[in-house]
Each structure stands twice: as C-alpha cells, then as structure tokens.
Structure 1
Amino acid sequence: MSETSTPLKLSVIGCGYLGAVHAASMAELGHEVVGIEVDVAKAESLAAGRVPFFEPGFEELLRRSLDSGRLSFSSDMAAARGAAVHFVCVGTPQRRGEYAADLTYVEAATASLLDVLGPGELVVGKSTVPVGTAARLAEQVAARVPEAALAWNPEFLREGFAVQDTLHPDRLVYGVADAADAPVDAEKVLDGVYARIVADGTPKVVTDYATAEMVKTAANSFLATKISFINAMAELCEATGADVKQLADAIGHDDRIGRKFLNAGLGFGGGCLPKDIRAFMARAGELGADQALTFLREVDNINMRRRIRMVELARQVCDDSLLGKRIAVLGAAFKPDSDDIRDSPALNVAAQLQLQGANVRVTDPAAVPNVRRHWAQLDCVDTPEEAAEGADAVLLLTEWRQYKELDPATFGKVVRTRRVLDGRNALDRESWEAAGWTYRALGRRNV
C-alpha cells in the first residue's frame, strides 16, 4: 500500500475463478480479505493453499497471501460482517435452454449479503450481468440498509493472465449512483481499495450503472466480432485460394484495425465470450433494441461453423473417411495456459470426430483431469507422443507453447502418416513440411 492509503477489510463473495484471484490479489495489495464460498470443500481447499483450477502465477500468489495472514476463507456469510467493501464475484452462466444470463447466483449472493451488511458499507458487483441488474440490486440494498450503497466494477480478466490483469489492469471502471444522492462516496472508497493501481496511473472511467454493466459485454462482443470476421475471411480464402494468414498480416498493419485477435482458426470458446454475446442479444431483445445486435447472431454462427469445417477438413485428409482412423488431438482447453474446458472448440471437434467413427486420443498440458471428469467418452492421454502413436492425422486445436515447439522430425517418428491439421495457424508450416508432413490449416492455401 502507498503511504497515503489505508488497508481495508474486504469480503469477496464467491471464490471461483474470478473471486479467488480477486481475493488473493486484494490481500497482495495490503487489505484484510475474507473470501466467502458456499462450497465448503472449495473454501477449505483454498484456505489450505490448494488451487482448484490452473492459472499461471496464482498458486504462488494464493500461498503468499495466506502466509501474510491477510487472506482467509469461510463458507459462512457471517464472516463478511464488518467489511468496508463486499465484492460480489459469483458466476452468471447462460440460462438453460435460452440465450439470457442466469442471475440466480448473483441474486442469492446479494440477498445473503444483505443479512450482514452494515451502514456505510459498499457492495461492489464484479460479475458480468445484463444491463439494468445493478440498478435493481441497488434498490434492494437501499431498502434493506439505507446507509449502504452499491457500485459496479466490471472485471476484465483474461484466463492465463488473471493475476497480471487484476494487479496491473489496463483500466478501472466504476459504475456509481448519483453522488448527490449516494450515502457512500463509492468512487472514493474504490480509489482506496485500488490505491496502488490508481497511483500507477491506470486509466479510470467513472460512469453510471448501465454504462459500467455494458463495458464488459461490449468489449467481449467486439473481440468476438473481430475473431469471427477473420474466420469469415478464412472461408473466402478457402474458396478463392487466398491465404488468410498473409491477409491478416496485411490488414493488421492498418493501426485502425490492428493485428491482435486476427488469428483465423477454430474460433472462440470458454465461459465468457459465447455466453456473453448471447446474453447481450437476449437483453437487447428485452429492451426492444434487438435489431442493434442482430449481427452478433452471425458472429456466433461463423464461430460454430469453424468447428464443423475442422471436422470436414480432417475427413478430407483422411481419404474422405474417418471410420477407424486414429486421430491425435493436441489441446482440450478452450485456450492455452488454462484448464477451462467450457464450450471448448477442441473438445467439440474431438467428440464429433469420434461420433463419425474415428479413434480419437486427446491430450492437454493442464485440462486432462477436467476432460476425464466431464468427457468420459473421450480417450485422454498425458503426452502428445502418446496421443500421436500410430495416428493417421494430428490435429492442433489449442495453441499451447509446448505444441508449437514440437520438433516435427522427431514427432513424425511416432505417427503412422505425417498429416497435421493446424486448427490455430500456430505452427511453422515450412518446418513441418520440410520434415515430410502434409500441412493443412483453416483458410490457408493447400500446397
């Protein structure tokens, strides 16, 4: 903490991926933090320094924060009593059978928190919610504890970079009530929480509830659109014989466009982008503004078509039949440096290949335990060499550094046929072809 800041007592409600990282990071900043997690086993695991998910740097941060004495965990909401700030970090999954977000956990966490909320305290939402949620929850807070207040402080964590993004964010966004009417100066309180980050000159946007709620979904929708745009160009490149990687390099030099997120391939997945763009569309429809976001439906469609196209490409390279073919799938997580398999394009492709008669073996540096728990029908192994033994084709579906650095000559000794499908345009094509591999990728010329 800086000399001008005072450590605060904070509570973090919900200690999943977002909440656990946030709680440990706030303790790292010098605050006294209690994480509230209704799952008793998870709370006990975190309290013992055991990390329930894979995230680079988090285990060290968690142990350091616990050892400092500033971080604790509990399954009892009463442990949050007396905290100056209460962060709500529970999940908002897609509602079953619908596009809309399921707010069950947010509403339950807030209702439970109101039982221990005291005057002068601040409730801070970090969950990604449909616009209008914060205003409704603020009314509940005001009705129960008039001297307390609510703010919305969206998170922008990237899996694989969560610790960095929490301690060194590229911006802070505060959604606050009208200062003239608020019983608590939310901006001042949040500046105290993030004193070190603010002192570093991190850009800060102080705005209303609705704008703060929209920032996360608008940002994710833009990223999803950019990814689907280059994947749409990949479809055209396949039809015309153009090369999507060279196309992306060329248009990426335009600083109005930029090269980031112009990597054609299997598309996006995970627990944020797919469900967030769908919830955004659903909420726009509820507000009578659905036409504003109709383009996101095609963004979603393009993304899903990439998975179908990868299966088709695998069939093509396997002499137009997958029946009985041995396929190695490198990657199961939806992105590298994560064990998150929610809506994973890699697993979706692997399952489709298996349904069409292929003998599929999946490997991943971090996600294999999760695959074995949730996709028991898939055969998982621990190394790429095990996956590729006797394979008729190798599919790179998650661009882990370990896979990009494979030696194609040595790796080629374990397969039956040297065919590689680069689902992420991540491999060095020239070196793989020089080692005798047939190389195919989405949107690339077939040499």
Structure 2
Amino acid sequence: MSTYEDRLKALREELARRKLDGFVVPLTDEHMSEYVGAYAQRLAWLTGFQGSAGSAVVLPAEAAIFVDGRYTLQVREQVDGTHWSYQSVPQTSTADWLEAHAPDGGRIGYDPWLHTRTWVIAAQKALAAKGAELVAVDTNPVDAVWPDRPAPSAARLVVQPDELTGKSSASKRADIADWLTEKKADSAVLSALDSIAWAFNIRGQDVDRTPVALAYAVVHADATADLYVAPDKIDDGVRAHLGNGVRLHGREAFEPALKAMAGKTVAVDPERAVAAIFEALSTGEATLIEARDPVVLPKAIKNEVEIAGHKAAQARDGAALSRFLHWLSVEAPGGKLDELTASDRLQAFRAEGGLLKDLSFDTISGAGPNGAVVHYRASEETNRILEPNSLYLVDSGGQYQDGTTDVTRTIAVGTPTAEMRDRYTRVLKGHVAIARAIFPTG
C-alpha cells in the first residue's frame, strides 16, 4: 500500500468485516518488550511513527495516536495530523480516550497477546461507562492488511558463557525453584525476553540493538524448565549448554502447554506478562499467583564477574569515545562534518576496541536544533552539518559481550555563546544536585 492513508482505510475495512467498531494498536510484542522486531512494528507501519513508545486507536470516523513527552515534536513530523489526532501520555490514556470517543454500545477490538491484564481491566471499565465492549481478537487485523509484513527473526541463539555471567543457568534455575517453594507454587511463567536471556544464559539477535531471542519459558519448582523457541534457532552447542534440565519446544506449543496446567499453582507477573497468558492459564484451570517476575531482582544485583565485565566494557567504551572526541575536535571546525558521518565514525571507534556485538541503541547525533529533538535519529532527509559556533549532542552506547554502555555528551563546536554556556551550566548543576541528593527510603 502506497500511503499511510491507504493503510488506515484498509484497516477500517478489515474492522468492519469483523464487525468491530475500533481497534487498539500498541507498540510492543508478545513479550511486552520496549524494543521490538520488525514483524511487530505495527504502529510504525500503520502511522509512520518511528519512535520507541506509543499506541493508537482506530475508530470508524476518527483515529488517535498516543505518545509521551519525548515524542511531542517527532509525532507531528512523522504522522499526518489530517487523519490522526495527537494525544499526550500520561495526560490522556487510551482507556480514557476510548471512554470519551468510543461509540455507545460499540465493540472495540484488542490483541490479547499485546496488552497486560492491567490494561485490559482499565479499558473494560472505561468502555462499560459507554455500554461498549472490549473484544479479544484471535488474529491481529493489522497483520491481515499488512501484505509485506516481515517474518520474525530466524537468527540462532548464542550461548553467553559462564565465565562472563559468573553463574550457570542451572544455578539460576535452582534459585528460581527456591523462590517458587517459598511462594508455594509449582511453576513460574517467564515471558520477558531479558528475563529469559538471563535465566538461561543465552543471547539472541531478534531485536535490533537488544541481544535477546524470541522465546517463552516455564521454570518449575524442581529446577527444570520448558523453553519455547523456534527449533531452527537451536544448534547443538546451545542444546548442550542448556542440558537435560531444559525441555525444548516450538513457540506454538506455549499456549497449549499453559492450558494443560490444570491443578498447578503458577506464578505470573501481571506487569510483564500479556493478558493472553492469564487467559490460557485460567482456561486450563491452573491456580494463579500474581507475583513479580523472579528474575527481575537477581538480574539487577550484579555478581563480581558481571561487575568486572561492566568495568571492562566501560573502559573500552571510554577509550573509543575519547578517540572520537579528539577526532571531532579536529574535523568539526572545518564546517563540513555532518551528523551521519560523525555517528558512523563513533561506531567504527567502538568496533576497533573489541567485543562489540552491536550498538545499544540508534545513536542520537544531533547538530544545532536537531539536538533539541528527544530521541532524534539522523537520516538522509534530516542530516545537518555541525556548524561552527553551535552545539552538537551525541547520545550513544555499545552492546559488548561483557557489558552495555550509554553515554551522552553535549559538545561546543567552535566558540559557544553566552546563552549556550548558561544553559549548559544549569543542566550540569542539575546533574550535580541530583547526584548528591539523598533519597528517603520508599
């Protein structure tokens, strides 16, 4: 389809065919990920919005896109305001907007694999005020009208060796088993991709800039686990690494397995698991315990090996950034250096340092006014020269095998004005103040 207007029209026709009066399109995947693979970029395909967070609601006669303050400028540049109204989050939620705009008695569709149960409950409550109904769809209507939708990544899993993790997967699963025993639960469902990567000491290449693999897992109180991942992603090395304590299944077996857990007590995190997981377990008559993902806290507490790896990655990254800043001081004053060239050179310096697997996010390389665009991404259309006597913002990082980095610098190209010095100093003082602040418990 050639235009975003055509795509919106096609979706409305599909909704009418399904006897739906609206549909909610979030920017996430079946794992509630912040960053998603190309196959899950439904919001971008439908609207043209390229930010990393947002959602949309499509009704028969109107449509709205919801973004937070980071994307106030970007959404207006990328999304046609004649077809979409711009809504600010958290001031206006999708549930609040539906309460005000959904047709009385209407049927509003949602994909239960793309929303938390918390959101579903809020939306149901909002629609009830209009006598409207929230309807779970079996298949996503956006997918039905997206003719060239990419397939999920088929990239192989990669083992993260114990000498870099400091703890084996078997030991981590044993800790989860102890947690389950304390909770008097039989199993825990893990659906967040970072939790699965940590618990099984595996990495992937299924999401740009994030080394995770598309998978689900159920860890049991006997420290065994079931891992649901596309078979083609597993090689003999990964299979040997996982060992006999991990049973392998295709992703398509995950939902039926949940429905087969009758009589089991299962822990699920309502903030990280999608509504469809709760529905499958309830259908299978499992007993549900709502509890925080048991990986979140131990993953955040780094062991000595992880700390050493993080320090090594920071040192390597710092050296690359120092080389870049020196290079910039030589090249930028000439008035010919542009944002894309600077970004590419910084990535090259990082790669030369070793162990770089990817960037940790798309480099924000903003010259002059582009530096004021939050989460700006330079392109051939927006690429600017780093002009003399201007400011240049570069926010970047690397995904190294032993650690991840993220560093932001504001650089004066030439001689900064008095106003630039004042604003820079105020921001610096704010950083110093927050770094020295003592936060009360709780």
TM-score computed with the length of structure 1 as normaliser: 0.32
More strand, by proportion: 2
TM-score computed with the length of structure 2 as normaliser: 0.33
